[in-house]
Structure 1
Amino acid sequence: MAEKSNHTIHSSKELIKRLSQAIGVTGYSGSNKVQDIVAAELSPYVDRVERDRIGSVIGIKEGLQSPSEGQPRRKVMIAAHLDEIGAVVTKIDRGFLRFNQVGGLDDRVLMGQEVIVHGRQSLPGLIGSVPPHLLPPGRSSSNVDRQEMHIDLGLPPAEVEKLVQIGDLISFYRPPTELLNGLLCGKAMDNRASIAAMINCLQELNQLRHQWDVYAVATADEEWGNFVGAATQAYAIHPDVAIVNDVTFADVDEIEVKLDEGPVIGMGPGNHPVVRERLLNICQNLELKHQSEMMPSSAGTDAYAIEISREGVPTILISIPSRYMHSPVEVIQPKDVARAGRLMAHFIAGLEESFINELVLE
């Protein structure tokens, strides 16, 4: 059967919803944090779950390969970042909060968004600005700079001063919404959709046999641009091959990627050609929908940090198509998530010792 059952797709959708609602602005350490949710979701499908000191979560599933003398089992690393975009309080002005971005925010969609300010307690608020009626003549209301926006908590200034301080993090409040044709909309689909694909992969691996050890890593601190979790965990794990999961742009002019056409397999200098060819063969054998994306330069993902770890790691990027990236209303198709998980599981199940020699490019 080429496609997964409706039950599997429903399970993927519910998993994505749970992950989306967790809080994971880069640097957040309060309640309902995404690390706790990811650890709980990984736990049933791996032999053990570990965490590191910067916030990455690692699920380890041992393979069946018998280690040779002096040589441990081979390792495959699956990575998907768990942090999300958000904001940080930079100034308290007469009870209103000024803010700046954590990660890349799309200012065009910020006005009117509901947020949670993580002060001494979680405080609901919304993003507002000067009403268009009060703007000076000739000043357009269609182009509001972030510097002109503020967060309104509905509290008196003195109360705000007690509960909020500069440096407090801000997350978007956006419960997931099911759209028509099975699409799902919400905050942090970048990159919780990929975390869900990684968990789907581990679920499927429980029905398959695999020789290599699997390290499923939900990496911290990707959105601020330095790929910290990916770099540190790639160094610590020292994998023989790696698959990175992230989202990519879909359904926009001049980009051929579309929702509901399957995961996107990277091609270009940062994507190992032997790994890519193996993935394409699996898609053909499973009759699995998939797409390709040319990446002539760095895609700005964890893949870069992993590929250059130690002596180099054969790496490829598998992306989930997404609309409206870096906004609180990112849209994905859960079927694409399930397909990505299935593809990775069958890739891992087919890894043998002989694949190591195939990876050497001559």
Structure 2
Amino acid sequence: MNYDPVPFLKKIISLPGLSGYEDPVRQAIAEDWGPMVDELKVSRLGSLYGIQRGTTEEPRPRILLAAHMDAIGLMATMVQNGFIRFTEIGGIDPRILPGQKVIVHGRHDLPGIIGQPAPRLLPQSIGKKTVPMEYLFIDVGLSAEETSHLVRPGDPISFVQQPLELTENTLAGHTLDNRASVTALSICLAELSSIRHSWDVWAVATVQEEETLAGAFTSPVDISPDIVVAIDVTFAKGPGANDHRTVPFGKGITLGWGPNTHPAIYDAFKKVAERLDIPFQTEVSPANSGTDAMGLQIAEGGLPSIYISIPIRYMHTPVELVSIKDIQRAGHLLAQTVSSFEPGFKQQIRWED
């Protein structure tokens, strides 16, 4: 099946879908996955399941491939003199907020801009420092009465930066964390739809990774998988980001190594990547990985797991930057590794350091 991931990626990074409010993006993902899977389901918390059944006799082993679809953003806390005060959903660096365009999802969607008071109107203690979020506000251009009627505390607020193709291979936009990985799942499903695979594949677009890991904790309980894989993004090298905690941009994906990775699953993915000359490097995380793997791994009494990451620059900003080739590499590696699993592979999984 020929699949061009760019139109889908541009579509889903143009949609809202903040952590806990994923419905708009879930609908778009379901439309994309529908022709490639045997069944679609939605969990009670809102995670989307796309199921491709294997070719061997039942009961078949199951692999769960998870990419969170929720995004960071903001939430209204109060309307003050017609201006909207807000807090964060997920990790937001206040340095990037002034001047951003947003949509306030109130009684109906309202375009707005994030402003800040003039320096002379701020406390002297702030000086030339970053203006804290508590002093920022959103202006929707309406009267105080209209704004108070249309905006309620708790209304989500999303960024509206449009996708920007810098080159044929690089795309900038908001929510590439983690819709780049959702797109890698689409590539995987498209490839698997034209090759035989013994295992049942459950592609899962999880909810609330940025805040609660709710989708990661609950989806394995629904699915009872034998192996779990989290696909997420990681920090690419760039200005001011060049130490051991970052990886080269556009030069390949990463395989996670640390407490959230089972050695046997790491070895399986590593062998396929080496056989197919898929560029990768090992990303070492001595503590929790900061991905859905933290929740997936400890569900169902403990599951063999790994996390695979796509490097991006400027994470958790409205101008994240990704390499399309790395998204394709991630999807290809997922499909080829899954298709390499024989029915009895799960009996071979042993924890050997």
Give the TM interval when normalised to the shorter protein. over 0.9
Does 1:246 find its partner at 2:243?
no
Asked if the contact 1:185/1:329 (under 8 Å) is kept, the reply is yes
Partner-residue secondary structure (3-state), 1:26: coil
What is the distance in 2 between the residues matched to 1:333 and 1:29?
25
- The TM-score with structure 1 as length reference comes to 0.92
What is the distance in 1 between the residues matched to 2:22 and 2:195?
36
Aligned to 1:231: 217
User: Against the structure 1 CA distance between its residues 136 and 119, is the aligned structure 2 distance closer, same or farther, given a 3 Å change threshold?
Assistant: closer
What is the distance in 2 between the residues matched to 1:53 and 1:243?
21
Amino acid at match of 1:244: A
Q: Could you tell me the percent identity over the aligned residues?
A: 40
Per-residue Cα deviation, 1:232-266 (whole angstroms, up to 9, x for no partner): 11111110111110111110221341111111111
Amino acid at match of 1:81: H
Asked if the contact 1:75/1:214 (under 8 Å) is kept, the reply is yes
What is the distance in 2 between the residues matched to 1:309 and 1:259?
33
Does 1:130 find its partner at 2:98?
no
Q: Shift of residue 131 of structure 1?
A: 2.0
Partner-residue secondary structure (3-state), 2:343: coil
Aligned to 1:3: none
Per-residue Cα deviation, 1:119-142 (whole angstroms, up to 9, x for no partner): 011000010011235556675244
Per-residue Cα deviation, 1:305-352 (whole angstroms, up to 9, x for no partner): 111111211100000101111111111111100000000000110111
Amino acid at match of 1:276: Y
Pairs aligned (count) = 347
1:73-112 to 2 correspondence within 5 Å? 73-112=60-99
Asked if the contact 2:22/2:69 (under 8 Å) is kept, the reply is no
What is the distance in 2 between the residues matched to 1:146 and 1:256?
28
Cα RMSD after superposing both structures? 1.6
Partner-residue secondary structure (3-state), 1:310: helix
Partner-residue secondary structure (3-state), 1:276: helix
Match of 1:348 among 331, 338, 352: 338
Q: Shift of residue 21 of structure 1?
A: 1.1
What is the distance in 2 between the residues matched to 1:202 and 1:314?
21
What is the distance in 1 between the residues matched to 2:290 and 2:345?
28
Amino acid at match of 1:22: L
Aligned to 1:21: 14
Match of 2:36 among 45, 53, 67: 45
Q: Shift of residue 207 of structure 1?
A: 2.2
Aligned to 2:105: 118
- The TM-score with structure 2 as length reference comes to 0.95
Partner-residue secondary structure (3-state), 1:77: strand
Gaps of 5+ in 1: 1-6
Asked if the contact 2:20/2:208 (under 8 Å) is kept, the reply is yes
Per-residue Cα deviation, 1:65-104 (whole angstroms, up to 9, x for no partner): 112xxxx110010001110001111111100000000111
Q: Shift of residue 180 of structure 1?
A: 3.5
Asked if the contact 2:60/2:199 (under 8 Å) is kept, the reply is yes
What is the distance in 2 between the residues matched to 1:126 and 1:140?
23
What is the distance in 1 between the residues matched to 2:106 and 2:71?
18
1:1-362 to 2 correspondence within 5 Å? 11-28=4-21, 33-67=24-58, 72-132=59-119, 134-135=121-122, 139-180=126-167, 182-224=169-211, 226-251=212-237, 252-254=241-243, 255-361=245-351
What is the distance in 2 between the residues matched to 1:259 and 1:89?
35
What is the distance in 2 between the residues matched to 1:317 and 1:303?
6
Partner-residue secondary structure (3-state), 2:301: coil
Amino acid at match of 1:328: P
What is the distance in 1 between the residues matched to 2:171 and 2:61?
37
Partner-residue secondary structure (3-state), 2:65: strand
Asked if the contact 1:135/1:141 (under 8 Å) is kept, the reply is no
Amino acid at match of 1:253: N
User: Against the structure 1 CA distance between its residues 132 and 215, is the aligned structure 2 distance closer, same or farther, given a 3 Å change threshold?
Assistant: same
What is the distance in 1 between the residues matched to 2:300 and 2:41?
22
Partner-residue secondary structure (3-state), 1:320: strand
Q: Shift of residue 357 of structure 1?
A: 2.3
Gaps of 5+ in 2: none
What is the distance in 2 between the residues matched to 1:82 and 1:29?
7
Asked if the contact 1:261/1:291 (under 8 Å) is kept, the reply is no
